[in-house]
Amino acid sequence: MTKPFQKTLIITAVIYMVVGLLLVIWPDTARQIVIYAIGAAALLYGGYRIYDYFARKENLAGIQIGVALGIACIVLGLFLLFKANVVVSLLAAVIGVAIIVDSVLRLQIALNLRLAGGSRWIVLTVTALVMLVFGILLLFNPFSAIRVATIVGGASLLADGAFTLWGVLQNSDGTGKRTVTIR
């Protein structure tokens, strides 16, 4: 592993661990910051697209959508900035419905597998029922479910960063001492 690649992996691992820790410790605040950051980015990009359209000196052939895209991004950015809680609950409801539909289909597959004499139908039934409960929770109590999902995501990022850092540090001792010859 080259030194620049190691450095990149270490920086990425540390960023993952910091973001993961923030998501675990302050899940609601961290989620709001992410929504605000996306809103601000959309707002800035929309402003740039509108400015770029009017600032160009050359006449571009074809259909230009710079102004329309800019206005759409500005509206999206303003919505994300001023209605972040609506975004969280809307997203949770959409994901909840998708999980419920998927769980019901899995449950049907598990029951069909049982009738066909399959041996793993119980595992599929249990996972379908667990996901069905999670989908219902997302649909009817989105803020608690999103909070738990944020914490789990943060813990996953923290673990991923820690394992990456550990792996890089374990492999850093032999860097430069190994030579691979391909014949």
pLDDT at 79: 94
Q: What's the rounded mean pLDDT across residues 131-147?
A: 83
pLDDT at 180: 60
Residue 57 forms part of a structural domain: yes
Residue 83 forms part of a structural domain: yes
Number of domains observed in the structure of the chain: 1
Residue 167 forms part of a structural domain: yes
Q: What's the rounded mean pLDDT across residues 47-62?
A: 79
Residue 181 forms part of a structural domain: no
pLDDT in tens, 81-95: 999 888 877 877 887
Q: Which of 16-25, 101-110, 142-151, 165-174 has the lowest mean pLDDT?
A: 165-174
Show the 3-state SS of the chain. CCHHHHHHHHHHHHHHHHHHHHHHHCHHHHHHHHHHHHHHHHHHHHHHHHHHHHHCCCCCCCCCCHHHHHHHHHHHHHHHHHCHHHHHHHHHHHHHHHHHHHHHHHHHHHHHHHHCCCCCHHHHHHHHHHHHHHHHHHHHCHHHHHHHHHHHHHHHHHHHHHHHHHHHHHHCCCCCCCCCCCC
Residue 151 forms part of a structural domain: yes
Q: Which of 6-20, 53-67, 143-157 has the lowest mean pLDDT?
A: 53-67
Residue range of the domain that includes 59: 3-171
pTM of the model: 0.58
pLDDT, averaged across the chain: 85
pLDDT at 101: 92
pLDDT at 75: 96
